[in-house]
């Protein structure tokens, strides 16, 4: 695997989240409603665009809300 910049990794993870969310027919608002924590649609939008570095705990909560494994969200080989 080639060396990736942090921004590239964040974009891929964000794209994975967005793809899975859309496959499940969820809006960002729907996703926020399923996450059992204080997070808003602005944060989800920033994560999906790769504009912020979410914590592992946040990614875990997103994976639970999407009913997928954390590894599915963090799969950077999907590109």
Closest CA to 11 of 49, 43, 39: 49
Question: Hey, what CATH topology would domain 6-78 get?
Answer: 434 Repressor (Amino-terminal Domain) (1.10.260)
Q: What is the pTM of this model?
A: 0.91
CA 48 to chain centre: 6
The span from the CA of 3 to the CA of 46, in Å, is: 23
Q: Contact at 8 Å (CB) between 47 and 14?
A: yes
Provide the residue ranges of all domains of the chain, joining segments of one domain with +.
6-78
One pLDDT digit (tens) per residue for the chain, 79 residues? 467 899 999 999 999 999 999 999 999 999 999 997 788 899 999 999 999 999 999 999 999 999 999 999 999 984 4
| Model pLDDT, residue 79 | 46
Separation of CA 71 from chain center: 11
């Amino acid at each position: 695997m080639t060396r990736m910049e942090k921004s590239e990794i964040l974009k891929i993870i964000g794209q994975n989240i967005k793809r899975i969310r859309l496959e499940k027919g969820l809006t960002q608002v729907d996703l926020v409603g399923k996450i059992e924590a204080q997070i808003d649609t602005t944060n989800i939008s920033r994560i999906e665009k790769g504009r912020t570095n979410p914590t592992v705990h946040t990614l875990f909560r997103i994976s639970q809300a999407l009913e997928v494994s954390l590894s599915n969200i963090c799969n950077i080989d999907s590109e």
